[in-house]
Structure 1
Amino acid sequence: MKIIRNTKPISDIYTGMKSGDIIVNREYQRAGGLWPNNSRTYFIDTILNEFPFPKVVLWQKIDIKTRKTKTEIIDGQQRLTTIKDFIDNKLRLSSVSKRFVGKTFAELTDDEQQAFLSYEVSLDSIVSGTREEILEIFKRINSYTLALNRAEQRFATYQGDFKWFISDLTDIISPYLNTYNVMSDRDLSRMQDDDLMAECCLQYFDGIKSRNAAKLDDLYKKYDVSFPDKDGVYEVIISAFNYIKDHLTTVFENCEIKPYNFYSLLGALIFNRYGFVCTKNIEGITPQNLFCNNTNTIEERLIRIFSAVDNKDFNSEYSSMVIASNASTHTIKNRLERFKVLISALQE
């Protein structure tokens, strides 16, 4: 068995698929058309924006009767068939593609079409391989996959409005979280930012509850087909985040803000300005219809609070916040305690 590693432009691959020189072997490949439209759009948008995608694996073999080379797709069927369908104008891009929403291939400009067709696809071409070796390669490709965590499973399972709503939020908020070490590169690569944003949405809808992965799954499922209030919820969350970015960055520069405390801080800001949809377990606290009662002093107060957390100062005036940030940070008891401390600071 010999493997040739090279690249080919999309135009050559498309021509091969149209002519039948590049085919899918249905004996071991899954049926085509498994990707929903949003996933197909996301993939095409990847190419249009010149981002890389994983290599395609092909098997080249000679047909003795025709003396022609035939190429079977071992890995990459969904990607290549999506490319072919797009060029054949069988795919109109959804709103997942912000730059090219609503367009077919024919509706791209000449320069955009040229760039798409010229995009170089990374290939592993297997020559002189036996069918047994090919099946073994296919098996190994599909076995070397890192087990998906819950956030990644949701991203793979749901393709509707709520998933892409969360994606829009992370596009804006995650770079800030990464810059100030709220989340590491690894956290972002494993989609923990998506998980955090979904938690923040659930807090706005349902109030303060213990962390519950099943509840997040239900949220994705409920709004998968349609998320009618997404513009309003987007405004709530982004405006609270913008308040953090515009007025509280010094807090992030001086303190180590963990994701669970970002969740609590964002929730406190949202509640004080907009309230929560459900306030069942929040008694005696009324929103002020503004983010903070005194913007000039809030940074100093929050730095004192989070510094006590950083130093694990159980004897400070913020000992309850320290305790609630030290263990079992996702329980309703500790989430509620952190929320009360932060609301008190915002309303002081």
Structure 2
Amino acid sequence: MPSIPQTFSISDFLTWDRQQQLELQPKFQRGSVWTPQAQSFLIDTILRELPIPAVYIRTRVDAATQASIREVVDGQQRLTAILAFAANRLRMTSRSPEFAGMRYNDLSQNQKDQFLSYNISTVQLLNASDADVLEVFARLNSYSVKVTPAELRHAKHDEPVKWAIWNTTREYGVLWDHFHVVSVRDSVRLKNTTLIAELYMAFMNGLGDGGEDKVNKFYKDNQAKTEADFLAITTAVEHAIDATIAMFGEQFADTTLFDAPNFLLLVCAVAFVEGALPTSALTADVIAKRGAGISLENAENTLPLLTSAVENNDIAGAYAGFVAGTKSSTQRSSTRKPRFNAIVNAISN
């Protein structure tokens, strides 16, 4: 069974569909339906000329018509969305800020040309039997890297909670590309969305335990919320990130404060002393500092002592709790509390 990797334009797929040479629902497909938001995100990806996953088709010759028939064995939902948009049946949602509310006919001629000429990586399985197709996917799956919890969560959810967190993650590429708060390698696996999700959790519910299980529960608990429900929290989170970068990015970029576990607490501490972070059991010891305001002079004098204590592994000094909390499990309240308290005291009036 030959398999041929090729690229075909969207125009090619539209032609095959018009000529009834494209089967979108063979027995290999699961029949699930993408939401309009997911469809819109795919079209946005194409219009921005970014890559999408390859499509697998089984090509056979129909003896009666003497025409090639292409059965889509992987990529049904992608092609369904593409065909619907090309037929002017799909309106872009807010998942695509630049094209929100637009249909295909609303695009400029240049945008239409780019859309139609967009190349889709395609693997043709020539005259493959059902057994051949199953063998191909068994082998593909055997080489797959185990998905991270963040990747699984991103694939599973399509509610506004996911997109609010995703949009903030994407908006702050400087955190991953420049400051390396989460490494580029881990960001590719969407681990940076976990950090942003934990910020949303803290700004909604107060700072507490973290970790993937807590983030999964947060997504589940907020599935019913609308986009409007996240506007205020998004603004608060992004304001705190901006303030943190502006005040501390240049001086502390290469320190533990810009590693994900302590960066989370630094952003929360900034919001807390500005009065924007809700109180919780974890913040009880420094409640008097909530809304006290930031003292840059205090921060410039004290934060270097925290980072130096970690670098020197000073587990007996004045900042032993901060050092111990940084060196051990960083997701539990018991280790977050001394670190949060130390940062709040270091930056507040």
Q: Give the alignment of 1:1-348 within 5 angstroms.
A: 1-31=1-31, 33-142=32-141, 144-227=143-226, 228-256=228-256, 257-284=258-285, 285-289=287-291, 291-292=293-294, 294-348=295-349
User: CA shift at 1:5, angstroms?
Assistant: 2.5
Q: Distance in 2 between matches of 1:129 and 1:219?
A: 44
Give the letter aligned to residue 291 of structure 2: N
* Residues 254 and 303 in structure 1, CA contact (< 8 A), matched pair in contact too: no
Structure 1 residues 18-48: Cα deviation after superposition (integer angstroms, max 9, x where no partner)? 32101135322211x5211211111111100
* Residues 272 and 278 in structure 2, CA contact (< 8 A), matched pair in contact too: no
Higher mean alpha-carbon deviation, 79-88 vs 296-305, is at: 296-305
User: CA shift at 1:250, angstroms?
Assistant: 3.0
Q: Scaled by the length of structure 1, what TM-score is found?
A: 0.92
Is there any run of 5+ residues in structure 1 with no aligned partner, and where? none
* Residues 329 and 335 in structure 2, CA contact (< 8 A), matched pair in contact too: yes
Q: Distance in 2 between matches of 1:251 and 1:305?
A: 13
Higher mean alpha-carbon deviation, 60-69 vs 275-284, is at: 275-284
* Residues 180 and 253 in structure 1, CA contact (< 8 A), matched pair in contact too: yes
Count, aligned residues: 346
State the identity %. 27
Partner of 2:313, secondary structure, is: coil
Give the letter aligned to residue 100 of structure 1: F
Higher mean alpha-carbon deviation, 125-134 vs 9-18, is at: 125-134
Q: CA RMSD in A?
A: 2.1
Higher mean alpha-carbon deviation, 192-201 vs 126-135, is at: 126-135
User: CA shift at 1:299, angstroms?
Assistant: 3.2
Give the letter aligned to residue 85 of structure 1: A
Q: Distance in 2 between matches of 1:275 and 1:143?
A: 48
Higher mean alpha-carbon deviation, 188-197 vs 118-127, is at: 118-127
Q: Scaled by the length of structure 2, what TM-score is found?
A: 0.91
* Residues 59 and 126 in structure 2, CA contact (< 8 A), matched pair in contact too: yes
Q: Distance in 2 between matches of 1:236 and 1:273?
A: 11
* Residues 196 and 263 in structure 1, CA contact (< 8 A), matched pair in contact too: yes
* Residues 236 and 276 in structure 2, CA contact (< 8 A), matched pair in contact too: no
Give the letter aligned to residue 40 of structure 2: T
User: CA shift at 1:13, angstroms?
Assistant: 0.6
Higher mean alpha-carbon deviation, 63-72 vs 296-305, is at: 296-305
Q: Distance in 2 between matches of 1:343 and 1:97?
A: 38
* Residues 8 and 123 in structure 1, CA contact (< 8 A), matched pair in contact too: yes
* Residues 208 and 336 in structure 1, CA contact (< 8 A), matched pair in contact too: no
Q: Distance in 2 between matches of 1:283 and 1:306?
A: 24
User: CA shift at 1:111, angstroms?
Assistant: 1.4
Partner of 2:274, secondary structure, is: helix
Q: Distance in 2 between matches of 1:131 and 1:326?
A: 53
Give the letter aligned to residue 152 of structure 2: Q
